[in-house]
Amino acid sequence: MTDGDYDYLIKLLALGDSGVGKTTFLYRYTDRIFNPKFITTVGIDFREKRVVYNNTGPNGSPGKTFKVHLQLWDTAGQERFRSLTTAFFRDAMGFLLMFDLTSQQSFLNVRNWMSQLQANAYCENPDIVLIGNKADLSDQREVNERQAKDLADKYGIPYFETSAATGQNVEKTVDMLLDLIMKRMEQCVDKTQVSETVNGAASGKLDPVKPEEKKCAC
Amino acid sequence: MMAEEFSLSFLMELERDKILEVLYRDQVVQKAEDDRIRKLKMQLHQLRWKGVKNVNESQERSCARCQQSLGWMLNRGAVCEGCSHRVCSGCRIYLNIYIWKCTVCYAHREVKIKTGDWFFEERAKKFSLSGKYETTGTKLLTSYQKMSNISVVPPTPPPFAEAASEGNSMDLSKSKGFTKSVENLFFSLTTHMKKISKSQDDVTAPRFHLTADYGQHAEWRKERRSQSDTAIDIANRITNAPNLLNLIKKTKGTEECEDSSSKQEEDFNFTSNTIFSGRRKYGSICSINSTCTEADNYDKTNVTGEIELAIMYNFKTSTLEICIKACTNLAYGEEKKKKCNPYVKTYLLPDKSPQSKLKTAVKKNTVNPSFLETLKYKIHCSQLVTRMLQISVWHSGTLKRKVFLGEVLIPFESWDFGDNSLQSFNCYQLKTKVIIAPQNRACMV
Ligand SMILES: Nc1nc2c(ncn2[C@@H]2O[C@H](COP(=O)(O)OP(=O)(O)O)[C@@H](O)[C@H]2O)c(=O)[nH]1
Ligand SMILES: [Mg+2]
Ligand SMILES: [Zn+2]
Ligand SMILES: [Zn+2]
């Protein structure tokens, strides 16, 4: 797993209250099994997975496929690890913000996690998906879908209801996040290259004789 | 009462070990990534260089990318917005129906995405980190190593004072780069742990730094607890250290004394800053980060060739057996003299202590040595998953000079010892030592 034969290294990070199912979710995603044992995450951990990503080309034409190496960081929700875990936020390119559908409290804390993210993630508005987990426990549900959707809309992020136990929506959720990140990568480079071009054009007017000396060719 | 406190402090120590283990695994991922990025940037560099050469060579109007001559009326070419070079229509790649880039600018864009540069650039706008590419994991490990060093500075010079001070000065010069917050963070983490085990006894703080095992050996831990510890004590343990890690026993007993002098030179050089536990344990990372003399050695020779070996695990005797068959097409250890006296050395990482080191015999004057030797580690299979076998090939020169000829890393994390295909002989391409130095990554231009 540790060879460099991939096109992208994408680092995702799961966060949310302790016990909402982050570890189980990631385990489900990477190994496709439900591990019902409750093993408290000590501070931080990560799992890895290689996936193939299909990029849709311009105009939605079928694009290239890429090998993506996913590093999925798991964090402990407990307060005493907070300073350790939040330090890892800034290395992640996308976030799985999770609460437990059977715990109103974990849902209320989503706001706090959002502000932690805004403070510690690599930018002010990183790619995030909101996840209501344990959807299989419908008889114990404390958070309804409308509530959660409204909150997600408020933040402008997608919302999924998942179950690490049955696997419902687990892959779909990660795929969605991956999609958002891949789009952002393109936007980021094209945005900066456009501004480079603008600068280039401006200086080009001042000094039009030496086009060879522009940045690109150094 | 005592038992309760014991278990609590035990837990904290395990926690610290657990976190360090995660950080160590992360370094493996990071290492592969750095390797990949370096290759990508190299490719781009070559592509770009080709273009530049063409422009300089020809005075006439021609495509900057493929050098096809361009007309003044027909087939005029067009100027790429990215680099302002004139290129023919064949050297344009369209992002959509309106926007195109020349092949080099397109490759530049690809590299920027694939290396994650887009991310690091975004992040640099928000945080002013010391190293643009540095990860929290790497920072934590480095400051942990530094802290272990500072807090266990020997009161009197131990026999290997030279090595120790070398490690110190190096760390100090590097320390400027670390952000205060991360240092504080790890400090709070460690003091937090110390505080909890403080009631236990008064050697807690040093013990925190001195634990060298993987936390499974309660027996040994207890014994350690009762020892008073000073740096000298550690020093002794490292140089003699027969009982330090009885987890791993050398089954090949003879060579230990045979090369005691070379050990001084080679290992202390290599692990000049791995004297203390955290460093010894994660010594490989530390040396990866450092710019110590040994690292320079890695650059001098190029790495070629392959090594053929088989790895087996004997469940009955709990031994890991590595049968080193041969190497082919090695680089010369001394290129000018066309000299090569190769031997193979293994470590069961993260343990970089002498106990973890095994070696084959030295073969004289050959770049295709045949060894047919089996190196054995006594280790329980449950511990093996956290280990990684480092197999390096060295040239043994005159005056005990060692030259690095290449290495192979084999993690056991997902190794299936029931799989027969893995147990038979396999050829592995020798790799260069990857030196992680995120701050030094060539800047994208
Ligand atoms: N029924 C059900 N239980 C779950 C689900 N996800 C996690 N759990 C259980 O919830 C508990 C806490 O999960 P864990 O992954 O350790 O939570 P973490 O603290 O967020 O990492 C464990 O006992 C899991 O088995 C789920 O989707 N459905
Ligand atoms: Mg967990
Ligand atoms: Zn051309
Ligand atoms: Zn161009």
pLDDT at B131 over 80: no
Helix axes B161-175, B136-151, angle to 10 degrees: 140
C-beta of A22 in contact with ligand 1 (< 6 A):
yes
Q: Is A217 contained in some domain?
A: no
Q: Is A218 contained in some domain?
A: no
3-state secondary structure of A14: strand
C-beta of A36 in contact with ligand 1 (< 6 A):
yes
Q: Give me ligand 4 centre to Cα B271, in Å.
A: 46
C-beta of A5 in contact with ligand 1 (< 6 A):
no
Print the domain residue range for A176: 8-194
Q: Give the β-pairing of B388-396 and B342-349.
A: antiparallel
pLDDT at B123 over 90: yes
If contacts are CB pairs under 8 Å, which of residues 143-202 in chain A contact chain B? 184-186, 188-190, 192-193, 196-197, 200-201
Q: Which residues contact A110 (CB under 8 A, 6 or more apart)?
A: A16, A97, A99, A130, A151
Q: Give the β-pairing of A127-133 and A159-161.
A: parallel
Q: Do A2 and B192 touch (CB under 8 A)?
A: no
In Å, what is the CA distance from B334 to each residue of B279, B296, B306? 31, 15, 18
Q: Is A104 contained in some domain?
A: yes
Q: How far apart are CA A41 and CA B180, in angstroms?
A: 26
Q: Do A216 and B81 touch (CB under 8 A)?
A: no
C-beta of A137 in contact with ligand 1 (< 6 A):
yes
3-state secondary structure of B311: strand
Q: Is A31 contained in some domain?
A: yes
Q: Do B29 and A185 touch (CB under 8 A)?
A: no
B300 touches chain A (CB under 8 A): no
> Tens of pLDDT along A29-43?
999 888 777 678 888
Residues B294, B295, B296, B300, CA torsion sign: positive
> Tens of pLDDT along A78-125?
888 888 899 999 999 999 999 999 999 999 999 999 999 999 999 999
Q: Give me ligand 1 centre to Cα A170, in Å.
A: 13
Q: How far apart are CA B100 and CA B91, in angstroms?
A: 10
Are B269 and B281 within 8 A, CB to CB?
Answer: no
pLDDT at B27 over 50: yes
Q: Is A216 contained in some domain?
A: no
Residues B35, B39, B44, B50, CA torsion sign: positive
Q: Do A186 and B83 touch (CB under 8 A)?
A: no
C-beta of A161 in contact with ligand 1 (< 6 A):
no
Size of interface A-B (CB pairs under 8 A): 140
Amino acid (one-letter) located at B32: A
Ligand closest to the CA atom of residue B109: 4
In Å, what is the CA distance from B339 to each residue of A83, B17, B301, B332, B391? 54, 44, 12, 6, 21
C-beta of A41 in contact with ligand 1 (< 6 A):
yes
C-beta of A143 in contact with ligand 1 (< 6 A):
no
Are B333 and B301 within 8 A, CB to CB?
Answer: yes
Q: Give me ligand 1 centre to Cα B128, in Å.
A: 37
A44 touches chain B (CB under 8 A): yes
Q: Do B86 and A188 touch (CB under 8 A)?
A: no
User: What is the least distance, in Å, from the CA of B428 to any CA of chain A?
Assistant: 13
Are B428 and B408 within 8 A, CB to CB?
Answer: yes
Are A110 and A91 within 8 A, CB to CB?
Answer: no
Q: How far apart are CA B220 and CA B241, in angstroms?
A: 14
Q: How far apart are CA B428 and CA A104, in angstroms?
A: 54
Are B294 and B36 within 8 A, CB to CB?
Answer: no
Ligand closest to the CA atom of residue A17: 1
* Mean pLDDT of the B43-72 span: 71
Residue of B319, B307, B24 whose CA lies nearest to B142:
B24
3-state secondary structure of B23: helix
User: What is the least distance, in Å, from the CA of A169 to any CA of chain B?
Assistant: 27
In the prediction, which pLDDT does B416 show?
66
Q: Which residues contact A146 (CB under 8 A, 6 or more apart)?
A: none
> Tens of pLDDT along B181-193?
444 445 555 554 4
If contacts are CB pairs under 8 Å, which of residues 139-178 in chain B contact chain A? 140
The total of structural domains in chain A comes to 1
> Tens of pLDDT along B260-292?
333 333 333 333 332 233 333 333 333 333 323
Q: Determine the atom of ligand 1 nearest the C-alpha atom of A18.
A: 19
pLDDT at B227 over 60: no
Domain locations in chain B as residue ranges: 13-51+61-141, 306-429
Q: How many distinct helices (H) and strands (E) make up chain B?
A: 16, 12
Query: So what's the ipTM on this one?
Result: 0.85
Residue A136 sits in a domain of what CATH number?
Answer: 3.40.50.300
Beta-bridge partners for B344: B393
Residue of A182, A122, A185 whose CA lies nearest to B123:
A122
Q: Is A206 contained in some domain?
A: no
Q: Which protein residues have a CB closer than 5 Å to ligand 4 (ion)?
A: A 216; B 80, 82-83, 102, 105
Are B120 and B133 within 8 A, CB to CB?
Answer: yes
Cα nearest neighbour of B65 on chain A: A217
Q: What's the burial of B445, exposed, middle or buried (CB within 10 Å: 0-12/13-18/19+)?
A: exposed
Q: Determine the atom of ligand 1 nearest the C-alpha atom of A164.
A: 27
> Tens of pLDDT along A185-214?
988 887 765 544 444 333 333 333 333 333
Q: Is A212 contained in some domain?
A: no
DSSP string, B174-185: HHTTS-HHHHHH
Q: Which range, of B194-208, B240-254, B316-330, averages the lowest pLDDT?
A: B240-254
In the prediction, which pLDDT does B420 show?
58
Q: How far apart are CA B410 and CA B404, in angstroms?
A: 18
Q: Give me ligand 1 centre to Cα A23, in Å.
A: 7
In the prediction, which pLDDT does B398 show?
79
Q: Give me ligand 2 centre to Cα B143, in Å.
A: 26
> What φ, ψ does residue A86 adopt, rounded to 5°?
-65, -25
Write down the CATH superfamily of domain B306-429: C2 domain (2.60.40.150)
pLDDT at B168 over 50: no
- The minimal CB distance from B84 to the residues A46, A188, A204 is found for A204
Amino acid (one-letter) located at B18: K
Among A13, A17, A24, which is best to mutate for testing ligand 1, by the most ligand atoms less than 8 A from CB? A24
Length of chain A: 218
Q: Is A203 contained in some domain?
A: no
C-beta of A134 in contact with ligand 1 (< 6 A):
yes
Q: Determine the atom of ligand 1 nearest the C-alpha atom of A166.
A: 27
Structure tokens at A47: 């799992």
Give the class (CATH, top level) of B13-51+61-141: alpha beta
Cα nearest neighbour of B25 on chain A: A46
A216 touches chain B (CB under 8 A): yes
Ligand closest to the CA atom of residue B82: 4
* Mean pLDDT of the A1-25 span: 90
